[in-house]
Structure 1
């Protein structure tokens, strides 16, 4: 009889548990930091563990997914099509910036959020008119129309901009000085060095003629420091903010098949991820997403011959590859980035979490 009573009580307990509502609601972030390691595949991420004197910040992520990156017309994407997928949620042809494969402009997350009162920013170690940052504010059929992209940047609603590209603003073939346009829109313009302190005005920081110097050539802490400055500035906005940060030159090291170049950029990007994660941990309302537009170089961490105690990084190509790309997420809504999906889903997941869909 005691055994029967125990079974009945256990059955009732299981029944009550099964009928109890389970809270599956996904938390919503107020802010999003999207970090793009241009050209960063899984081997590049792995290099952050093997060649880094510090513990890699990638260890701080629990929610991880994989992403397919092919463009609308090619199996292997370029940065323009890849960034347009992130920024606007559409597949397009290689070379298109903020344009669909039907040659129509597509609205970006920066444009949508700016209209809703969010503060927005872009940071890159390339010029700020390069393909990846440009996809978040510009609309051109070809990524190489740099002077036109620079004009569209001056017309955009971005609040914080940092990177290289001076020649596209002040050394133009049409004789224009776009820095005057930025000042007329209420920007502080910095072209000498990253300022120690900034005002409450919008910020344009352009510190190189084209791309920023390589890490192995002495760039220093531009990327982590400008990221911290942007977070301090943008987080003052009560509505929320969106910040895109690109480690642009991981890609360039891959194209050059230059291991030292690539590793310097990868470790710098890893350090910058730490700045974003520290902010998110303290803030509590910020989603951090780390991914790449594609992999570059077919980079591999091979054993050095039969010596399994040493690594011999090698490259398979001077171009891009079609390997799946990891996606790392931390903060409110991070579980949405688990699984395997298309690169366009990054945009749609962000918009849904921000309640804009």
Structure 2
């Protein structure tokens, strides 16, 4: 008995020493840079489907650390404005509001805190740079639709790198002011490659949002990975480090359209951006990557239609989004069989042809047929309130383990970066 007790005491001493050492390591984790990557609309169902679509684990899978709750201040189901605000400010707000409390006061953001502490800052998105998620990090408006008022705030907040769509929200006078503030304006992929890293960058690659990844080859727009790489190239020159938010914004849009192929290809493009960020973090050793969607969109499911099966391989043959395919139909949609064969590889039945010809929105009929053939289910064209996975890599990544509130994410990042910031308010 004495031998057992002695052995136990030795084991306990070793174990507690290990825990103490681990705790010290966690406390001493040095986070100079944070890359916060947001696959908008992404949830566990998308992660599962993408794994089947890809045929192997995703790069994100090995970084999985926990989950987070997405509800807003006034609803169990958040929108991107309230979700983005929570992830940018550490505080809940009502749906539709951008970095503004339900009472109307402005909420300081982690990006603004990073800049106030001498760090470089950047926002990258495949939507408009003035859309809900990027806007929540560097502007304050009561209504997310006020993009024309968001645009000048991005410039006045002196965000070092702004890359995305939304040129129509930047007036000529605002673009002139941006240049006076030291921004170099770029409008296509080639110009982005030639930017000077010592100057601020305003990249506006489309009047509205960028093209879905499936259709991007028809444009001269950069990929999300291209934009992420250029943003890092610029921001890594900052002596005090940087905060960069990268959004794969059209996973959400694909969910709204119930377009599974659009979703898979934009997740693939997002994963390529993650690869760029991870390579930098591995080399730098002082960079934390956090990945978390802001909510689920579409009520996506792997399998459906009363069958114990999935047929995601169908998606690999589809060459365009449902919207693009619908645009190829003639006025009476009588060419639906030929168009669908060309862009999806599917041979339509007479019933499926009728569905496309009689649908109020041809793109939704196209997406429904593709989804059903792939045995992918959808419950809505809107958001849902399910919890969303959190991934992390780099120093401090263990701090994100378990079930978090979405408001916890920026609080933990700020603490790890040792930012002076009032996240404790209303906690």
Q: TM-score, length-normalised on structure 1?
A: 0.92
The range that moved more, 272-281 or 52-61, is 52-61
1:214 match: 212
CA contact (8 A) 1:286 1:331 kept: yes
Change (3 A) 1:319 1:238: same
- String of CA shifts for 1:180-199, please: whole Å, max 9, x gaps: 11100011111233522321
Partner Cα separation in structure 1 for residue 390 and residue 248 of structure 2: 15
2:194 match: 197
CA RMSD of aligned residues (A): 2.0
The secondary structure found in structure 1 opposite 2:311 is strand
The range that moved more, 83-92 or 12-21, is 12-21
Partner Cα separation in structure 2 for residue 91 and residue 15 of structure 1: 42
The range that moved more, 247-256 or 275-284, is 275-284
The secondary structure found in structure 2 opposite 1:177 is helix
The range that moved more, 20-29 or 70-79, is 20-29
Partner Cα separation in structure 1 for residue 199 and residue 6 of structure 2: 67
Identify which of 29, 37, 43 aligns with 2:39.
37
Change (3 A) 1:65 1:14: closer
CA contact (8 A) 1:83 1:293 kept: yes
Q: Aligned-pair distance for 1:112?
A: 0.8
Change (3 A) 1:251 1:351: same
2:78 match: 77
Change (3 A) 1:18 1:298: closer
Q: Aligned-pair distance for 1:14?
A: 4.4
CA contact (8 A) 2:295 2:386 kept: yes
CA contact (8 A) 1:138 1:152 kept: yes
2:316 match: none
Q: Aligned-pair distance for 1:69?
A: 0.6
Q: Which one has the bigger strand percentage? A: 1
2:81 is aligned with 1:67: no
Aligned residues: 348
2:180 is aligned with 1:184: yes
2:407 match: 344
Partner Cα separation in structure 1 for residue 288 and residue 255 of structure 2: 28
Partner Cα separation in structure 2 for residue 214 and residue 15 of structure 1: 55
1:321 match: 384
CA contact (8 A) 2:310 2:376 kept: no
- String of CA shifts for 1:302-354, please: whole Å, max 9, x gaps: 15754636341221100000000100011000001001121000111111111
Q: Which one has the bigger helix percentage? A: 2
- String of CA shifts for 1:271-315, please: whole Å, max 9, x gaps: 211111111111111100011110000010115754636341221
| Structure 1 stretches of at least 4 aligned residues deviating more than 3 Å after TM superposition | 6-21, 303-307
2:342 match: none
1:356 match: 419
CA contact (8 A) 1:167 1:210 kept: yes
Change (3 A) 1:8 1:138: closer
Change (3 A) 1:97 1:7: closer
Partner Cα separation in structure 1 for residue 12 and residue 173 of structure 2: 72
Partner Cα separation in structure 2 for residue 51 and residue 243 of structure 1: 29
- String of CA shifts for 1:89-139, please: whole Å, max 9, x gaps: 110000100101111001011111101110000000000000000000000
The secondary structure found in structure 2 opposite 1:265 is helix
Unaligned runs of 5+ in 1: 171-175
Q: Aligned-pair distance for 1:13?
A: 3.4
CA contact (8 A) 2:223 2:269 kept: no
Partner Cα separation in structure 2 for residue 184 and residue 54 of structure 1: 48
The range that moved more, 45-54 or 282-291, is 45-54
Partner Cα separation in structure 2 for residue 74 and residue 288 of structure 1: 29
2:51 match: 49
- String of CA shifts for 1:227-285, please: whole Å, max 9, x gaps: 01111110111101110000000000000111121111111112211111111111111
CA contact (8 A) 1:303 1:310 kept: no
- String of CA shifts for 1:149-171, please: whole Å, max 9, x gaps: 1111121121011000110113x
Partner Cα separation in structure 2 for residue 232 and residue 254 of structure 1: 32
The secondary structure found in structure 2 opposite 1:60 is helix
